[in-house]
Amino acid sequence: MIDALLAPKITGEKSIPLPVKFRLLLIVSIALATVLSTSWLTLWLFVSLDIYLWFRSGLTVRQTVKRLLAMDCLILFTVALIPFSVSGEPVFSLLSFSATKPGILMAMMILLKANIVLLAVMSLSAGIDALTLGKALVELGVSRRFALLMQFTVRYIEVLFLEFHRLRQAMKARGFKAKNTMHTWRSYGFLFGMLLVRSFDRADRISQAMKCRGFRGHFLSHEKRLVTAREYAHFVAYLSLVCLIFCTSFGTFMFPVPIT
Amino acid sequence: MHIADGVLGTPVLMAGIAMTLAGTVLGLRKLDDDKIPFAAVLSACFFVASLIHVPLGPSSVHLIFNGLIGLILGWLAFPVMLIALVLQAIFFGFGGVVVLGVNCLNIALPAVMVGALLRPLRHRIPARILGFLAGSGAVLLTGIMVSLSLYLSGEAFSSTARVVFWGNLPLSVLEGVISGFIIVLISKVKPEVLNGVQSNA
């Protein structure tokens, strides 16, 4: 799981030819438009846009389905009770609770929206690693401190994960098995505590080493990559498409069509 | 605890974004530039720890650690949680994009509250109690805030909100027990960790 942060499985060549900052803006605009729209037509149009973006992204079917399903399990838990809480025409009943048609439709719409957003995030973020993400955030005007904190965090996640494995291995070597006992929870508590103590020591050493090298809160060199006219054109085209699809949502406000 | 996109109502989403933004700006102001590497290592530590599953009943759960984050990092909980959630949303596919503000607020605000309440007591009450109060208190508050964000999003979520609240109670007890042991170990091995990042700057 952690390797996804540092070394993306897909290289940038096949993915959508947009600079990372534009991809982030597209993700946010698609997510916002999806969340705010209430018409099925709009949502299905976003699904088709997502499928196009997915084709361009070079993600494999297997990894896509795996991640979508993992999230869907979580959402199903959230929406499972909605059909029984919304009043309306009953469709079926379960243990004397009846599920209504508007409730089922609402639950399905939430499920669809969440999948649209996740698929857009996956397709557009394919090929981005966490360090590029930090750089793109600064280009978009996010506080430099925030981006720096994020880049350093990502750098040490891997290091501390290895540290955790060393501690865990030492426990295994002494015959530790996780069970539902106070002993297990105490051992985990000490494991986490030791991880924290070692992180604190490491943080101190890193801080001092950085200071020795003249670190005062920012890196001095910043390579700047210029955006080509072609990339701008691509971005504007995609953004207009998102706006256009979002506008179909207003159509139903002006000419209300009953949801079927 | 991750709420996905498309669930919550627009006013709830907007309030979450605004408050998370304010908290993050405040948190970053409290961070000295030369303390950034230091805060980042602790932030990475909590990120790694929250990926680890601990057995509970027939299944296993992961801890949130927002009580300890509040105790050690204070207002920095906002930027630290936001970074963790952005990384999770983009690279692991958990949670959503627009809902990021609410998800961050629900975890970071209890952290800040617990930290502010318990930090002055850290030398006065036994380590195990301090850890238990921090861990279980923060998770309990997070559960309340998650159910509240669902409840405020419409009548349809009222029963889900109730299930989330009750289902969260055993998690808060487990988090409290394990946090208690964590603080016991820290106060024996390296008590200065509890002084935090902000105060010893």
Regarding predicted confidence, which is higher, B101 or A86? B101
Instruction: Name the residue among A75, A149, A204 with its Cβ closest to that of B39.
Output: A149
**Cα angle vertex A76, ends A70, A78, to 5°?**
115
Within a domain: residue B4?
A: no
**Is residue B73's pLDDT more than 80?**
yes
In Å, how far is A113's CA from the nearest CA of chain B? 5
Within a domain: residue B5?
A: no
Instruction: Name the residue among B5, B37, B40 with its Cβ closest to that of A35.
Output: B5
Within a domain: residue B119?
A: yes
Q: Do A207 and B35 touch (CB under 8 A)?
A: yes
B146-195 confidence digits (pLDDT tens)? 999 999 988 888 888 888 899 899 999 999 999 999 999 999 998 888 87
Within a domain: residue B132?
A: yes
CATH number at residue B97: 1.10.1760.20
**Is residue A95's pLDDT more than 80?**
no
Q: Do B97 and A117 touch (CB under 8 A)?
A: yes
A59-76 confidence digits (pLDDT tens)? 888 888 988 888 888 888
Within a domain: residue B104?
A: yes
**Is residue A92's pLDDT more than 90?**
no
Boundaries of domain holding B150:
10-199
- At residue A1 the predicted structure's pLDDT band, cuts being 50, 70 and 90, is low
**Is residue A253's pLDDT more than 60?**
no
The residue of chain B nearest to residue A88, with distances taken between CA atoms, is B156
Q: CA-CA distance, A179 to A194, in Å (whole number)?
A: 20
In Å, how far is A34's CA from the nearest CA of chain B? 8
Within a domain: residue B2?
A: no
Q: Do B38 and A186 touch (CB under 8 A)?
A: no
Number of domains into which chain B is organized: 1
Which pLDDT value is given to residue A255?
Answer: 47
A147-169 confidence digits (pLDDT tens)? 888 888 888 888 888 989 999 99
Average pLDDT value for chain A: 83
**Is residue A44's pLDDT more than 60?**
yes
Instruction: Give me the amino acid identity at B114.
Output: V
Which pLDDT value is given to residue A14?
Answer: 57
Mean pLDDT of A39-63: 88
- At residue A215 the predicted structure's pLDDT band, cuts being 50, 70 and 90, is confident
**Is residue B60's pLDDT more than 90?**
no
| Residues paired with residue B93 on neighbouring β-strands, in sequence order | none
**Is residue A256's pLDDT more than 50?**
no
Whether A204 contacts chain B with CB within 8 A: yes
For B82-105, the DSSP string reads HHHHHHIIIII--S-STTHHHHHH
Q: Do B40 and A36 touch (CB under 8 A)?
A: no
Least confident of A47-56, B55-64, B111-120, B191-200: B191-200
B190, with CB counted inside 10 A (0-12, 13-18, 19+), is: middle
Within a domain: residue B102?
A: yes
Q: CA-CA distance, B86 to A153, in Å (whole number)?
A: 12
Instruction: Name the residue among B49, B84, B159 with its Cβ closest to that of A195.
Output: B49
In Å, how far is A229's CA from the nearest CA of chain B? 27
Q: At what angle do helices B10-29 and B100-118 cross, to 10 degrees?
A: 50
Within a domain: residue B73?
A: yes
Q: Do B48 and A86 touch (CB under 8 A)?
A: no
Would you state the structure tokens that stand for residue A163, as one six-digit string? Answer: 């540290």
Regarding predicted confidence, which is higher, A224 or A145? A145
Which pLDDT value is given to residue B201?
Answer: 38
Q: Do A75 and B193 touch (CB under 8 A)?
A: no
Instruction: Name the residue among B41, B99, B185 with its Cβ closest to that of A193.
Output: B185
Whether A32 contacts chain B with CB within 8 A: yes
SS (H, E, C) chain A: CCHHHHCCCCCCCCCCCCCHHHHHHHHHHHHHHHHHCCCHHHHHHHHHHHHHHHHHHCCCHHHHHHHHHHHHHHHHHHHCCHHHHCCCCEEEEECCEEEEHHHHHHHHHHHHHHHHHHHHHHHHHCCCCHHHHHHHHHHCCCCHHHHHHHHHHHHHHHHHHHHHHHHHHHHHHCCCCCCCCHHHHHHHHHHHHHHHHHHHHHHHHHHHHHHHCCCCCCCCCCCCCCCCHHHHHHHHHHHHHHHHHHHHHHHHHHCCCCCC
Considering only CA atoms, which of A253, A73, A220 is closest in space to residue A144? A220
B76-129 confidence digits (pLDDT tens)? 999 999 999 998 888 887 778 899 999 999 999 999 999 999 988 888 899 999
